[in-house]
Amino acid sequence: MITWPGAGMAWLYAGAPWAARHASRGLSSNVWTAAAVLVAAIGSAIVAWQAWETHRTTTLSQRTLASSNALAIDSARTRMDQDAPRVDVYVEQVSVPSGAPGGSGGAAGGGAGGVRARPGEQWRLPEDAERVLQVQVQVRVVNLMADRTTHLKVVGLRDASMRAGTEILLNPGAKLAYSLTAAFTLGQWAENWEAHQAGQDVPNLVDGCVVSGDDRDEGVEDTWPLRLMAWPIQPAGDGDGTWQMTGGMPGADWFQIAIRPLRERRYWISQSRKMPLPEPSAPPPVAHRSRKRTGR
């Protein structure tokens, strides 16, 4: 049998074009797959960029709206501050009235007679624990305007006629005196002294406030909160339960009277409708329209 050189490789040469064609087809399929993946990636990137751009634009618009709202509120506050009534509230003196109160006041309940604050007087505890001693703060309210009346209300204070919680119109230039009174039993005052000595908050105190309002529907309302803390009696030093007035009283460290903070101001769009001016950081108010009922 005669064999020609290279005859065994003829099938390889004959199949080369077929292999090349199929290889070309496989390569083309891979290229299109890669191209499709690339197009999808580019499309996803474009969608993500559009979403980010929309979010950025929306956030910028919201910030711009919030800034405009804050500027409008600040402008309204400035205008109301310029037109606000000018009232001054200050403390004149703190004292222990020498007259005996008729019963108990403040947080004391059912006292067994008042205490006369006389120099050198002493009391025995617990025998005198239910007797009542008053500490009184004189508060002065002044309308600093010479041509305008302001609305004035007090809470927890009494006027010169001893009326509590009065509400009046304060005439231009008028000055009024009020009193904030703490009337506690000697036992309660002793608790205050012991707490003060221990560096703790006193358990028995009184609060009040003075409120000055604008005479117009739109405007401001100023509040001066008052707090009186005192420890007017101390042990006499003999250890037998005898107590006396603290340190001679005048100029001594026996009370704290605070106006805290010095003034609180509220701004009103409409006081009659209870619509306050929002804070600059708050969203703009939404107007609610009331539905009117009409008869048939």
Q: What is the pLDDT of residue 261?
A: 61
The CA-CA-CA angle for residues 86, 92, 95, to 5°, reads 150
What's this model's pTM, rounded to 2 decimal places?
Answer: 0.66
Q: Give the DSSP letter string of 231-281.
A: --EEE-SSSSSEEEEGGGSTTSS-EEEEESSS-EEEEEEETTTTEEPPPTT
Helix (H) or strand (E) holding 148: none
pLDDT at position 15 over 60:
no
Are 206 and 228 in contact, with CB atoms under 8 Å apart? yes
pLDDT of residue 99: 59
Question: Sign of dihedral through CA atoms 106, 100, 97, 144?
Answer: positive
pLDDT digits (tens, 9 = 90+) for 66-125: 666 777 778 888 888 888 889 999 988 888 887 545 444 444 333 446 677 676 788 999
